[in-house]
Amino acid sequence: MKEDGYSGWWFPPNISANYGQTLDQGTAIITWVTMIGGIVVIGLMLFAVIRYRYRPDRKALYLHGNFKFETTMLVLVTVFTLGGEFFVLGEISEGVWDKIKYQAPEDAMEIEVLAEQFAWNIRYPGDDGQFGETDNELVDEENPFGIDEDDSAAEDDVVTRGLIHVPVNVPVKVKLRSKDVIHSFFIPVLRIKQDALPGETIDVWFQAKETGEYHLVCAELCGLGHTTMKAGFVVEPLEEFQSWLEEKSEE
């Protein structure tokens, strides 16, 4: 299956409804600035090499430096780099990082993602909105999360393997965990990436604005099956999502 909209040369489609567009715009600004900067420097270098090429009858300029020029350059470079980051991109001043990584909306739908060598396990809390208790002692092939069946909140939990469905235009908060080694939760079309650390639960959130079938992949080397570690990522209308979840819970 070949997915639409992927050129292999540039960004994949961007279906993020929250910060994903900002990230692409920021990257575009950086691309332009670096391209211009690079061309200017290489251009100057080539100009110097051609204009001042060796001639036996000529002596080079005897110049150790120029205090005024050097200080002006230093000030300009400092103002340009710091100013660019602070005010043009606003990365620090506007706290983009906090928003992306830590400020999930209150009403976000919660799911749990548990990475393991070499698969993604997903758990939905079901109608009660509560995840059942888990215990590492209970983990086995049938029960990858180690869900405690005696807990009443666990009754309607839905567990899938290698497949995430999410409703479109609904903020989703992922509680990300790992069983064994470090994995990394990467959905290219959402511009989202977060390492999954064993022993920690890390929150990640996103909101997809377009329906479609995409992939969740592992971006951190996790062993010999790393190259196969992926999951289907399906964005669909809320009703379809709900009926899919219902179907899964009956299984």
Instruction: Give the pairing of strands 158-161 and 202-206.
Output: unpaired
**17, 163, 170, 181: residue in contact with another protein (rule CB under 8 A):** 181
Q: Is 88 in the site for another protein (CB under 8 A)?
A: no
112 SS3 class: strand
Q: Give me the least distance between CB of 127 and another protein, in Å please.
A: 29
Look-up: residue for tokens 């179907």?
247
Per CB under 8 A, 82 contacts another protein: yes
Q: Shortest Cβ distance from residue 235 to another protein (Å)?
A: 14
Of the ranges 63-71, 148-156, 162-170, 239-247, which one interacts with another protein (CB under 8 A)? 63-71
Closest approach, Cβ 170 to another protein, in A, equals 21
- 12 is a site residue for another protein (CB under 8 A): yes
- Segment 41 to 60, residues that bind another protein, using CB under 8 A: 41-42, 44-45, 48-49, 52-55, 58-60
CA distances from 217 to 70, 140, 196 (A): 48, 23, 12
Neighbours of 85 (CB within 10 A): 13
The nearer residue to another protein, 164 or 217, going by C-beta atoms, is 217
Examine residue 3 and tell whether it contacts another protein (CB under 8 A): yes
Tell me the two tokens of residue 95.
């706290």
Contacts (Cβ under 8 Å, ≥6 apart) of 231? 119, 120, 122, 162, 163, 164, 215, 216, 217
What are the φ/ψ torsions at residue 77 (nearest 5 degrees)?
-60, -45
* Strand partners of residue 208: 16
Contact 16, 192 (CB under 8 A): yes
Beta-ladder partners of 159: 123
Residue whose C-alpha is closest to residue 177's, from 123, 231, 228, 133:
123
Question: Applying CB under 8 A, which part among 86-94, 150-158, 162-170, 240-248 lies near another protein?
Answer: 86-94
Using the minimum distance from each CB to another protein, give the nearer residue, 117 or 249. Answer: 117
What residues between 97 and 156 interact with another protein by CB under 8 A? 97-98, 100-102, 116-117, 136-137, 139-141
Contact flag: residue 32 with another protein (CB under 8 A): no
Helix (H) or strand (E) holding 159: strand 158-161
Asked if 180 interacts with another protein (CB under 8 A), we say yes
214 to 233, contacts with another protein by CB under 8 A? 214-215, 217-228, 230
163 binds another protein (CB under 8 A): no
